[in-house]
Amino acid sequence: MSSISIIGTGNMAKAIGAASLKGGNTVEILGRDPGKAAALARALGDGATAGTWGATPTGDIVILAVLFPAAVPVVTEYGDALADKIVIDITNPFSADVTGLVVPDDTSGAQLIAEAAPASTHVVKGFNTLFQPIVASGRAVDVFLAGDDPQAKASVSAFITSLGLRPRDAGGLNMARWLEGAGLLEVNLARNGVGFDFSLGVNVGEPK
Amino acid sequence: MSSISIIGTGNMAKAIGAASLKGGNTVEILGRDPGKAAALARALGDGATAGTWGATPTGDIVILAVLFPAAVPVVTEYGDALADKIVIDITNPFSADVTGLVVPDDTSGAQLIAEAAPASTHVVKGFNTLFQPIVASGRAVDVFLAGDDPQAKASVSAFITSLGLRPRDAGGLNMARWLEGAGLLEVNLARNGVGFDFSLGVNVGEPK
């Protein structure tokens, strides 16, 4: 069981919040608009609460479920309130035409978020490769992760497992750029009508 | 039925050559070492031939199955012999530690290969996200493609379908960088013992 705080009141906040509660975790919703946060907490039910914007989140794991343009500003605004927290960055820093990333070529949204956060905050990239309908569907799929702190990744992996999803470790936070690129690929594949299944060949049999 | 020329005599050349023949395509093997090319053609059997290095390939589709460091030099050496051909770039331009790409940040191996090829050559990125054992296994998986010429992508897609694999269009050649990044992700996921299945949510049901 993990204690989860979700910064954001949009579709991903709703889908991850509902899945988190179903998985037996506690959920706190944080929104700049207290009314929206309270409304989402009510809609989620099952003990979900609305927290105070900018105050230290109650969750050990904080899910940053805002659009990328808001991500670094929000983390900067929260500042020390995120000290010692695990922050899951689910954002996709797509360019307007969704063929590239808006972040510099030698970094990633997740790394920029880590730079904006306190030194004691552990940022883990994850969920950006999952479309909201997939999270909402409850289908067991893989959640790719990237992060530098093994303990933080272990905590996030336990949380992901509680959702009935499969944590998949892609390596250090320097791999976050490629996870953001994978999100970009998915959107472009989807534009061409594609849903897919592929395998690394580690499990060549039917997906577990 | 497609006529395929494969430049290279390694594991991917062997796996793609065998799958191509099984799919009813003709296969020509091209190797700088004529002995190796002849040996692979013999090993493949089923009418596979060994062509003359540097001469115009007999195949309408030329599969560049060499390691990335050799790819641009080989395409440059072939020069006009690749005019009007469709070239499938299956290479992965990984850095030594396999956490980045050796190509400049604003391009991809496939784009560098296209720049080195005649203007009439259509370069399609593909197969770089498939490990050789997967191609050899015959399991129906997705083959992600990127390329600028719709007709060339249609020809490559028909070829991929003949292999019992699923062509998946990721967009223009400017998406090749992200396919190369996806290859990078796969290696790092595999390093962590991961095989996976994921879905865009376009087909949420069991994989076809």
Judge whether A98 lies within some domain.
Answer: yes
Give the CATH number of the domain where residue B16 resides.
Answer: 3.40.50.720
Is B195's CB within 8 Å of A202's CB?
A: yes
Q: Is residue A132 part of a domain?
A: yes
Please tell me the predicted confidence (pLDDT) of residue A136: 86
- Do residue A168 and residue B181 have CB atoms under 8 angstroms apart? no
Structural domain boundaries enclosing A177: 3-194
What pLDDT does B181 receive? 96
In a domain, A203, yes or no: no
HSE-CB at B166 with a 13 A cutoff on CA atoms is 16
Mutate which: A108, A160, A169, A200, vs B, most B CBs within 10 A: A200
Q: pLDDT tens for residues B156-206? A: 999 999 999 999 999 999 999 999 999 999 889 888 877 554 434 333 333
**Contact between residue A86 and residue A156 where contact means Cβ atoms under 8 Å apart:** yes
Write the DSSP assignment of A90-133 as a string of letters.
----B-TTSSSBSS-TT--HHHHHHHHS-TT-EEEEESTTS-HH
* Nearest one of B178, B204, B130, B192 to A141, comparing CA atoms: B204
B158: part of which helix (H) or strand (E)?
Answer: helix B150-162
Q: How far apart are CA B116 and CA B74, in angstroms?
A: 9
3-class SS of residue B147: strand
Interchain pair B200, A199: CB under 8 A: no
Tell me which amino acid residue B82 is: L
Give the model's pLDDT for residue A12.
95
pLDDT value of position B12: 95
Q: Which residues of A touch B100 (CB under 8 A)?
A: 174
Residue entry with tokens 């395509």: B25
CB atoms A201 and B188 under 8 Å: no
Give B77 to chain A, closest Cα distance, Å.
31
B88-147 pLDDT, tens digit per residue, is 999 999 999 998 999 999 999 999 999 999 999 999 999 999 888 888 888 888 899 999
pLDDT of residue A140: 85
Range in A95-104, B13-22, B56-65, B134-143 with the lowest mean pLDDT? B134-143
Does some domain include residue B205? no
Record the tokens describing residue B69, joined without a space: 């460091």
- For residue B39, pLDDT beyond 80: yes
CA dihedral sign of residues B78, B84, B90, B92: positive
Report yes or no on whether pTM surpasses 0.80. yes
Contact across the interface for B207 and A203, Cβ inside 8 Å: no
d(CA B185, CA A36) in angstroms, rounded, equals 37
Domains in chain B: how many in total? 1
Whether A9 is in a domain gets the answer yes
- ipTM summary value: 0.85
| Domain-embedded: residue B93 | yes
Decide if B111 is inside a domain.
yes
Question: Which residue, chain included where needed, has tokens 């593909």?
Answer: B126
Q: For chain A, list residues with pLDDT below 50.
A: 197-208
> What's the confidence (pLDDT) of residue A205?
36
Examine residue A205 and state whether it is found in any structural domain, yes or no. no
